[in-house]
Chain A
């Protein structure tokens, strides 16, 4: 019952007037930025980081929680009305929801997305509140060598499950690892890859990298393809309401989506792409009218949206309990924590317990505020989609530059930001996924640290890396994750040959 008491304390500190204000501001800003086309939750949080540089850690975390959920709500609105998903998790929503909007059912699509996200978010946060501390308790006993194995598994799954090409995923990871190397080595103080640049000794700041790789990379990429792109807003008629029949068809997909999304968020399964696709195909299989799918079936929005939100909350479990981000958004939240010298991980609940419970409580509050705020305000958000494209990009880019500069008031960060923007452009142009790069950049130095720690304990014996039972299991998982895509591709080819 300890958790319940802690959670109540969390609510008590999150519900002060000023913190509630920060929560409200966060939901507002998060939705505002998330609605803007092409901006996913990861970028929304990264863009809004500068706002929190000077507020207290508790208020900032409350704001992040609100921004996080707000950006996800905003993103689904854009996906449905504009068919431009800001992240891989909204691809399905865009697919099915946009069809609904074309059929004049935009209101129902938006409502099922919003209510489904609320239901999924609330259930998932509740599970989070009770599992994360338990996992953290167990994780205290996890040794350095096991951490090495755990991080390698996260790298492998994220690199090989995202995007079409496994090799490109790993290349993205490797580029991220190289960026993580830059700067003074933590243990020996040796400068690596700095080329005599004093500012580079401090290492590459993760915030400008994340902002630039998404925002500047996207702006440059859109610019390079400017002639061929257009976009189309579907006008929304009526209110964001669901009929009795819509409710009947939505509630089961919500729950099933939550059940799929949460566990797949907890294990490093490559972000929200897999659970949303799974939820979609499950709903299609279970539906009485599968022929509606692909032409605007409400189940096809309700399920994946719930899965997406539950997945996001699930990803907070390894983040809070192990310090291990498993998606781009979780990685950004980790960076946000680190800005306040808070290191997520097994000891987090001991060292910063009050703060974390406030965060969890504010996840509930943020989720509720959003539902209250967004259903009536959805028309206001829709207006935002009418911001002319030139202004939209100009605003995003200048804000990204501001964020890069304001972090340390350093011109070096701006240089890095522009360089990374070009990398982001090239990645998009050549079909490389971006999440592995971010994970590599953030976890790379951590991996090196744990790796050395393990070898120091064993006095240089490499056998220590796979000595524990846990690490053996993890390496087995790693091998499966590495070879499954190769084998399935091979099987497909064999089958195709057999048909030919």
Chain B
């Protein structure tokens, strides 16, 4: 039932979003968004009917009929937090700090017990990547607060 409700939400979300192209005013660039909006709405209605008829979504890697377990919110949450920290830190603190924190966060999420080792290895790994990109490949990455070191 949980997955059914969530799928309903997605359908709703899809449908809500499809109204957006109505903001367009000129005639010609509107044709395509309208067509796509109509397609999306039609499809979500069809999917809704399919779900009502009992055709539930099968998560990837499972076979039809496999029990669907509750999601692991803690692991998921830490991964999300690590991603967001990169977004917040990349331009403020620089690549090395942002990426090292993301790296470390994800090792924590995936249940790595040796935190100190992961932190040291992660930082070293990220520093090597940073140096090889900026020096050998000439791809600019923000140095951030470590600038000048």
Q: Point out residues on A near B: beta carbons under 8 Å.
A: 50-51, 53-55, 164-165, 167-168, 170-171, 174-175, 177-178, 181, 185, 187-188, 190, 192-193, 216, 219-221, 223-228, 388-391, 393-395, 397-399, 401-402, 405-406, 409, 411, 414-415, 418, 421, 426, 428-432, 444, 448, 451-452
Known: A192-B21, A192-B24. A426 touches B60 (CB 8 A): no
In contact, B118 and A391 (Cβ under 8 angstroms):
yes
In contact, B24 and A190 (Cβ under 8 angstroms):
yes
B93-149 CB contacts (< 8 Å) to partner A: 95, 99, 102-112, 118, 121-122, 125-126, 129, 133, 137-142
Contact of A164 among B58, B111, B118 (CB under 8 A): B58
B10 CB → nearest A CB, Å: 7
A414 and B115 CA atoms in complex are apart in Å by 27
In the complex, what residues of B have CB within 8 A of residue A402's CB? 95, 99, 129, 133, 141
In contact, B7 and A430 (Cβ under 8 angstroms):
yes
In contact, A390 and B118 (Cβ under 8 angstroms):
yes
Known: A181-B21, A223-B75. A190 touches B90 (CB 8 A): no
Q: How many residues of B contact A (CB 8 A)?
A: 72
In the complex, what residues of B have CB within 8 A of residue A429's CB? 3, 6, 57, 59-60
5 extra interface residue pairs, beta carbon distance < 8 Å, beyond A171-B40, A225-B59: A167-B50, A175-B40, A391-B118, A397-B82, A411-B91
In contact, B43 and A401 (Cβ under 8 angstroms):
no
In contact, B87 and A219 (Cβ under 8 angstroms):
no
Q: Does B16 contact A (CB under 8 A)?
A: no
A389 and B126 CA atoms in complex are apart in Å by 17
A185 and B33 CA atoms in complex are apart in Å by 11
Q: Does B65 contact A (CB under 8 A)?
A: no
In contact, B75 and A219 (Cβ under 8 angstroms):
no
Contact of A225 among B20, B44, B69, B90 (CB under 8 A): B69
In the complex, what residues of A have CB within 8 A of residue B90's CB? 401, 405, 411, 414
In contact, A223 and B79 (Cβ under 8 angstroms):
yes
B56-100 CB contacts (< 8 Å) to partner A: 57-61, 69, 71-73, 75-76, 78-80, 82-84, 86-87, 90-91, 95, 99
In contact, A220 and B76 (Cβ under 8 angstroms):
yes
